[in-house]
């Protein structure tokens, strides 16, 4: 490899731009899915290493994507298709001349295949954590779905299911059915099944025998044993987001076919807009045009890649900048802990240092035992140079040189780049980095680190971290603890249970507890670090009262760290640690605890912390997320706290919520969210999330909200009921959590620009209300929603503005001119509280509302929206639109649709026919009896 270190940044950028223009394929390295010339490139499908090898799995994946490509092309009006796909084969499978991975990994996959069942059982589903029109995180399939052809009857063909899930993932649309609200009353006072489009036909049936259809509806809910089955033969062509399994369904619901009244997630999240309206406003549609002609696009091409040996190279800055604020010591402590405890067995590890030039400190060495780990630790830099200049490209050049000695290329390798130096020449090696096939994780130390350092991790799909110059910050060790092999094998990876750091006064203590739950406990390690020459007094008690003290720890006085490894499986329960500062001055004492899964068949609880986007500009907030799961089951009712550390100033703590309000779009989905906008300074911010779950019996709500393909229980075919095989229920059982659990995860870093110096005026409005609901109770409408704050989702808003309309178009497009509801007696509560408000729409109903075309429209529904205002009259965005049916007569029941009337007529006719048959049979029997009696009487008379 040749790095053009002497080229000027401007010339280098022009050179890179030219080469990338000549070689567009370079754009897709580490860049995720890209759309060019109507085709998607770079779609990555990864198979979990716990999945058993099956010769039919890969062919079925290829068949699914190929079918999906043509189905998608037609559904998007000849606009989009899948061009190139990569399938990541786990290293646990036999080698079969697969290509070697470059920057692909399981953690970066758009689609994952794993035999872990989630909250939706075996249903294909998409993890969506943002609002309408926003991309999701990944699509999840089980091997059973991909291999069991018996499931096709319930889900539809796999290609159609993939398009359903792709729309969730790529365009941020939601499901158009609702298992919790399968029926509703429409504007014409008719009971309808929740569906889109409403032209899809079907009827109510009873699974436990024939029954009157009225018995299926009790308080707008299904009676037990009743269901609504759809006709297998339909004329309706929409919608893919409702029931892709119907052969007639070939498109998404648009403005003319969309069922705005259906109480589904699409209407709630997208303010009653159709899926096609949302999709057609996406970047994919804005950056493409429909293809001319009648020819179909070419079928997708597939490349199969498999990871080889795990290869890691530490690329460490030793310039004079590393001598500031104890940076070198903290790097040494974190790197030692990484090499001794975290890096996986059989990994090849090399070490490089750099200032203005790069130096190889250790060639690749495979980690097979503790002696190998200790040998690598001995190669860590012990001092810094006198030279202040740093050349990151020179360090990476040596790193590539090290890893290429194994197989001739850097494909699939990982670089952990740690630096505090400013370097204006990173652009010189961007093209080399792009084409290397290596993933680069960057760790920036202090405020002097190169401003465009993160471009290296962005281009290669690596993680990025920031470590502030604070003695009590544990961010360096947190960053190394977060970096894993990326294989998706959670059973082999270390999980961080504790990260604590405090400045402790002389002869004072740092005392706390950490929970080791029964899902972890293998390879458990405690790490203590300090600042002075001697260690603090360490006392550690396990749950059974066994005592460990300083003498039980392995002490490294040079690096000022002590480490205790617990053999076997650590006792589950509360471990209590106490650190006594025996030094005569204040010093920072820090504790880190990691562990591995205790069983190979039960996944441990995990947390993944992340932010939306890598940077923001004041006053736009940053959205913080924490995905808390046990396998693929969401964990509810956890206490989730984010700690955000700026370059200068005190850290900020922020509690995250899974309440379906503010930044959190779906309640109880295991993703805890919050807006962060307390920006103190410009620059980098570090994120860490701490999760605590108290001892309790935890049961997940069923079904869990989210986006997944619907399994159809059966159809009506030629007037006959045809039921599919019952779907196996995968609802999670209640399990006793005797000790609760604790988890830590670094969420990497993000950057903030444009923060004004000194005090600034209020620029933060209340957050948008996203969970407004309306219920008609007699003559009144009751609204409910979650209170926003004075600033986004913090504090207390000043007032609410509620408006109603008979016209959906009016309230969607002209909220300010819809009818205002008097809310003078409505005082907002603290953010997160549940609000309710009841009003009578009589005044509105008795008049006519001005329509957009000057016409009046009679309707049995009203549409309601709300927005909040703060004390400075800053207004939130208008909420989701809720709707309510009006004026149901007291003396009349809801009118059933034609399908139900037909069914009632059929049942009535059958009943009458039965009565007639019974009368005929009874009459026949009576006549026969009379005849026998007369015959017997005649015989007796004859013999007498």
Output the six-digit token pair for 857. Answer: 């429209």
Neighbours of 500 (CB within 10 A): 18
CB 805 within 8 A of CB 815: no
CA distance 890 to 865: 27
Residue written as token pair 């070419």: 298
Q: Write the CA distances from 590 to 279, 441, 505, 749, 847, integer angstroms.
A: 49, 24, 13, 21, 69
CB 617 within 8 A of CB 753: yes
Catalytic residue among 135, 165, 251, 835: 165
Q: Taking the CA of residue 37 as centre, how many other CA atoms within 13 Å lie in the half-sphere pointing to its CB?
A: 6
Instruction: Return the biggest CA–CA distance within the chain.
Output: 143
Output the six-digit token pair for 512. Answer: 């706390």
CA distance 164 to 72: 9
Contacts of 928 (CB under 8 A, 6+ apart): none
165 is catalytic: yes
CB 861 within 8 A of CB 882: no
CB 770 within 8 A of CB 881: no
DSSP line for 894-922: PEEPHHHHHHHHHHHHHHHHHHHHHHHHH
Which among 342, 351, 355 has a CA at the least distance from the CA of 377? Answer: 351
DSSP line for 713-781: -EEEETTEEEEPPPPPP-PPPPEEESS-EEEEEEEEEEEEE-PPSS------PBPPP---EEEEETTEE
CB 328 within 8 A of CB 322: yes
Strands (DSSP E) contained in 32-173 are 34-36, 39-41, 43-47, 81-82, 84-89, 99-100, 111-113, 125-127, 138-141
Q: Write the CA distances from 857 to 258, 581, 806, 861, integer angstroms.
A: 19, 77, 8, 11
Q: Taking the CA of residue 438 as centre, how many other CA atoms within 13 Å lie in the half-sphere pointing to its CB?
A: 30
H or E element at residue 399: helix 392-407
Which among 229, 232, 264 has a CA at the least distance from the CA of 245? Answer: 232
The helix, strand and coil proportions of the chain, stated in percent and rounded to the nearest 5, come to 25, 30, 45
Which among 886, 662, 679, 882 has a CA at the least distance from the CA of 763? Answer: 679
**Using N-to-C axis directions, what is the helix angle for 158-171 and 57-75, rounded to 10°?**
60
What length does the chain have? 944
Catalytic sites, residue numbers:
165
């Amino acid at each position: 490899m040749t790095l053009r270190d002497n080229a000027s940044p401007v010339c280098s950028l022009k050179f890179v731009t030219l080469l990338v223009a000549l070689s567009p394929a370079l754009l897709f390295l580490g860049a995720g899915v890209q759309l060019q010339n109507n085709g998607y490139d770079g779609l990555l499908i990864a198979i979990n290493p716990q999945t058993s090898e099956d010769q039919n799995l890969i062919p079925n994946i290829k068949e699914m994507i190929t079918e999906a490509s043509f189905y998608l092309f037609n559904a998007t009006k000849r606009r989009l298709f899948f061009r190139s796909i990569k399938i990541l084969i786990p290293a646990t499978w036999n080698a079969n001349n697969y290509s070697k991975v470059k920057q692909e990994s399981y953690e970066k996959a758009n689609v994952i295949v794993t035999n872990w069942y989630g909250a939706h059982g075996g249903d294909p589903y998409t993890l969506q954590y943002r609002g309408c029109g926003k991309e999701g995180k990944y699509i999840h399939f089980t091997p059973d779905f991909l291999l069991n052809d018996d499931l096709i009857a319930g889900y539809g063909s796999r290609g159609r299911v993939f398009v359903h899930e792709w729309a969730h993932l790529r365009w941020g649309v939601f499901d158009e059915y609702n298992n919790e609200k399968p029926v509703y009353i429409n504007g014409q006072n008719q009971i309808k099944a929740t569906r889109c489009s409403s032209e899809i036909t079907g009827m109510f049936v009873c699974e436990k025998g024939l029954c009157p259809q009225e018995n299926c509806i009790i308080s707008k809910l299904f009676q037990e044993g009743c269901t609504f089955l759809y006709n297998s033969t339909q004329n309706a062509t929409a919608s893919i987001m409702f029931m892709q399994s119907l052969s007639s369904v070939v498109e998404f619901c648009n403005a003319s076919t969309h069922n705005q009244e259906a109480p589904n997630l699409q209407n709630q999240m997208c303010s009653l807009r159709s899926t096609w309206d949302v999709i057609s406003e996406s970047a994919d549609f804005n950056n493409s045009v429909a293809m001319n002609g009648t020819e179909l696009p070419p079928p997708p091409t597939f490349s199969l890649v498999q990871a080889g040996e795990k290869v890691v190279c530490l690329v460490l800055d030793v310039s004079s900048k590393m001598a500031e604020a104890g940076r070198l010591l903290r790097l040494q402590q974190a790197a030692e802990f990484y090499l001794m405890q975290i890096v996986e067995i059989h990994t090849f590890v090399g070490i490089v240092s750099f200032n203005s030039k790069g130096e190889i400190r250790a060639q690749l060495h495979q980690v097979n035992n503790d002696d190998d780990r200790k040998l690598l630790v001995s190669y860590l830099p012990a001092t810094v140079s006198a030279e202040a200049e740093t050349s990151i490209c020179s360090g990476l050049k040596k790193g590539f040189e090290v890893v290429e000695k194994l197989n001739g290329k850097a494909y699939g390798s990982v670089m952990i780049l740690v630096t505090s130096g400013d370097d204006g020449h990173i652009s010189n090696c961007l093209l080399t980095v792009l084409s290397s096939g290596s993933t680069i994780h960057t760790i920036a130390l202090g405020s002097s680190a190169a401003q465009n350092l993160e471009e290296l991790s962005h281009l290669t799909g690596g993680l990025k971290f920031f470590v502030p110059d604070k003695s009590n910050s544990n961010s360096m060790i947190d960053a190394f603890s977060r970096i894993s092999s990326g294989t998706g094998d959670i059973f082999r990876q270390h999980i961080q249970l504790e990260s604590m750091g405090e400045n402790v006064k002389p002869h004072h203590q740092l005392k706390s507890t950490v929970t080791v739950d029964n899902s972890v406990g293998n390879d458990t390690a405690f790490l203590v670090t300090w600042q002075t020459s001697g260690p603090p007094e360490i006392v550690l008690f396990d749950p059974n009262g066994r005592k460990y003290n300083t003498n039980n720890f392995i002490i490294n006085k040079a690096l000022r760290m002590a480490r205790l490894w617990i053999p076997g499986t650590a006792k589950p329960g509360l471990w209590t640690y106490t650190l006594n500062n025996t030094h005569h001055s204040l010093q920072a004492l820090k504790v880190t605890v990691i562990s591995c899964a205790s069983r190979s068949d039960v996944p441990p609880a995990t947390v993944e912390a992340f932010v939306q986007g890598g940077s923001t500009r004041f006053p736009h907030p940053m959205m913080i997320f924490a995905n808390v799961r046990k396998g693929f089951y969401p964990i509810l009712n956890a206490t989730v706290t984010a700690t955000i550390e700026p370059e200068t100033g005190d850290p900020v703590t922020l509690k995250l919520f899974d309440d379906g309000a503010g930044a959190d779009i779906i309640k109880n989905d295991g993703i805890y969210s919050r807006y962060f906008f307390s920006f103190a300074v410009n620059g980098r911010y570090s994120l860490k999330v701490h999760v605590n779950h108290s001892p309790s019996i935890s049961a997940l709500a069923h079904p869990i909200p989210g986006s997944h393909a619907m399994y159809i229980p059966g159809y009506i075919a030629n007037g006959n009921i045809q039921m599919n095989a019952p779907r196996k229920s995968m609802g999670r059982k209640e399990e006793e959590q005797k000790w609760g659990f604790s988890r830590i995860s670094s969420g990497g870093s993000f950057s903030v620009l444009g923060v004004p110096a000194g005090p600034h005026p209020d620029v933060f409005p209340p957050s948008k209300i996203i969970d407004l609901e309306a219920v008609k109770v007699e003559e009144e409408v009751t609204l409910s929603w979650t209170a926003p704050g004075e600033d986004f989702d913090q504090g207390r808003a000043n007032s609410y503005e509620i408006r109603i309309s008979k016209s959906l178009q009016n309230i969607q497009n002209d909220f300010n001119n819809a009818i205002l509801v008097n809310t003078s007696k409505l005082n907002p509560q603290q953010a997160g509280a549940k609000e309710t408000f009841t009003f009578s729409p009589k005044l509105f109903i008795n008049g006519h509302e001005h329509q957009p075309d000057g016409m009046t429209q009679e309707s049995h529904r009203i549409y309601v929206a709300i927005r909040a205002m703060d004390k400075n009259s800053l207004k939130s965005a208008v909420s989701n639109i809720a709707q309510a049916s009006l004026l149901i007569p007291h003396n009349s029941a809801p009118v059933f649709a034609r399908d139900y009337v037909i069914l009632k007529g059929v049942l009535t006719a059958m009943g009458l026919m039965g009565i007639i048959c019974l009368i005929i049979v009874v009459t026949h029997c009576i006549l026969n009896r009379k005849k026998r009696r007369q015959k017997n009487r005649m015989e007796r008379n004859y013999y007498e």
